[in-house]
A = this chain, B = another copy of it.
């Protein structure tokens, strides 16, 4: 855990906290109450951000660090999910123009959810989206805002960890869902800097378990998107963690575990019933690791990050019977 020049530091994250405060919600930490009155974990409710996911923190910080010339040229990103909404919302809040490249197989609901924040939407075949975003950046000078492998994005997500340390004095274990690794990188960096004794555990769906495999092997692994797309947790289908995210995970994370699809869906229901929060499957993955007994905390309060709440009500309704 020695400091490394390319790892995000506590002071990077503290600076981000000041930049995101007026755009992002300081989310509450809510107990998940079981029918017998036990409270096996608490949830950090990032689902309550105005765009429904923690991604708003990283996007807000990445836009806040732009200089005046960059702000004038605007920002661009490619995503069909929570990062797209986050960049669109953060750009509008900052008075910066945003272009979002969205694959033509994205659900209409998600396209509309991004469009409503005033971003320009460019729809392309899935295979062309990175190239098109880079082309727009090259042609217009717009700054590309990466979804996770970026120090400003990681520092922004790390503000979740700063808040947790302030909000939960007897914090024992923090449980974080992983896809590209932006959230876990920032949260782990913040928590380990302030409370090195707190355990930070990363969780993936088994069906998108590239990090778990890499963690066991001691080297980063890349899965096919065909494989990772099998999971119902549609926010966690990235093919691998980012390069700098891998380094943060190696430096700061204590363990990596996986959960099954059934455990994820059961956790969505448990969170709705026990904490009265609407979470998407990706947002219930961390809770699932505790509720299933995969993680057995030994001391203090356990907090799972409920990373997002962007679930269609048609998907949610059948889980509530």
Residues of A within 8 A of B (CB): 25-28, 30-31, 33, 35-37, 39, 45, 47-48, 50, 52, 112, 116-118, 269, 272-273, 275-279, 309, 313-314, 316-318, 320-321
**Cβ–Cβ < 8 Å partners of A317 in chain B:** 317-318, 320-321
Known: A25-B30, A272-B313. 6 other contacts (CB 8 A): A31-B50, A48-B277, A52-B276, A313-B320, A316-B320, A317-B321
**Cβ–Cβ < 8 Å partners of A321 in chain B:** 313-314, 317
**Cβ–Cβ < 8 Å partners of A275 in chain B:** 48
Q: What are 8 A-B pairs at a CB distance below 8 A?
A: A31-B50, A33-B50, A35-B116, A39-B50, A314-B321, A317-B317, A317-B320, A320-B320
CA distance A309 to B33 in the complex (A): 13
Closest to A28 in B: B28
Task: Give which listed residue, B25, B36, B39, B272, contacts A278 with CB less than 8 A.
Answer: B272
A304 to chain B minimum Cβ distance, whole angstroms, is 15
A108 to chain B minimum Cβ distance, whole angstroms, is 11
- Please determine whether B313 and A269 come into contact, CB atoms closer than 8 angstroms: yes
**Cβ–Cβ < 8 Å partners of A313 in chain B:** 269, 272-273, 320-321
**Cβ–Cβ < 8 Å partners of A318 in chain B:** 317
